[in-house]
Chains A and B, each alone.
Chain A
């Protein structure tokens, strides 16, 4: 069962009506709701990867403070299936970064302004294409 706060330990009534927060000036996104698990498409509309995580603040930082302005530096993609099921997080070296400056639109998908070929996140696919698929007879041209 996912963690939860027992009803007896909750400090506030559940049905309390809270005021709406002042609306900020820019576009508002909820990270988990609007970004995580979204498909990223490159400038040609080809699928690149899914957004598995976001890099907050300086790389390698372990704590953040409300006094600091914390920015999303990059979208991260990597092997997160096992860690989502069993907990923990993959090592930083296994997470590939896509700098936020490459993002051009956020909607049902996240669109990038670069070609997927230029991104490190697709190195496995490029390696398999060049070293495995390319060595199969007929593997270097369109079957049509």
Chain B
């Protein structure tokens, strides 16, 4: 599977209720080390009610400028949440289904370095 198959895929809970769309995939570099960097492991999915403009990332970083644009895009993607990969029952190119009892987290990029390029 390629990342493009997952991006913008609709997300449902176990009962088939629509929750939003996959707007990004959070990776953690803690996999096996085969080169200079550890292999990225899929850690979580970012789910938003909308798909467009999320690639700018305003809803998950501390970037505040340009102020009008930042406020608009943060408002536009309100309701975005993070769900752990372990809470995914099955992910295909058509849809992502979450397990019953999945947990929603804040989409904020972790740590102080929220301005990472």
A positions within 8 Å CB-CB of B: 1-5, 7, 9-21, 23-36, 53-57, 61-67, 69-73, 76, 80, 83, 89, 95, 99-108, 113
Closest 6 CB pairs of A and B: A2-B52, A101-B35, A26-B30, A66-B88, A21-B105, A54-B3
Q: Chain B: how many interface residues by the 8 Å CB criterion? A: 70
Contact of A57 among B1, B4, B52, B110 (CB under 8 A): B1
Contact B24 A33 (CB under 8 A): yes
Shortest distance between the CB of A111 and any CB in chain B (Å): 9
Contact B29 A31 (CB under 8 A): no
Q: Which residues of B contact A104 (CB under 8 A)?
A: 35-37
Render B83-101 as a binary contact track against A, CB cut-off 8 A, 1 for contact. 0111111111100000100
Q: Which residues of B contact A27 (CB under 8 A)?
A: 28-29
A52 and chain B: residue at smallest CB distance: B4
B positions within 8 Å CB-CB of A: 1-8, 10, 13, 17-21, 23-32, 34-44, 46, 49-52, 54-55, 57, 60, 78-79, 81-82, 84-93, 99, 104-111, 116-117
A24–B86 CA distance with the chains assembled, in angstroms = 14
Contact B51 A30 (CB under 8 A): no
Shortest distance between the CB of A37 and any CB in chain B (Å): 8
B46 and chain A: residue at smallest CB distance: A30
A21–B105 CA distance with the chains assembled, in angstroms = 5
Q: Which residues of B contact A56 (CB under 8 A)?
A: 1-3, 6, 25, 42
A83 and chain B: residue at smallest CB distance: B4
A64–B117 CA distance with the chains assembled, in angstroms = 29
A65–B99 CA distance with the chains assembled, in angstroms = 10
Q: Which residues of A contact B99 (CB under 8 A)?
A: 66
**Provided the pairs A31-B3, A62-B92, A66-B89 are in contact, do residues A11 and B43 lie with their beta carbons within 8 angstroms?**
no
Contact B34 A5 (CB under 8 A): no
Contact A64 B50 (CB under 8 A): no
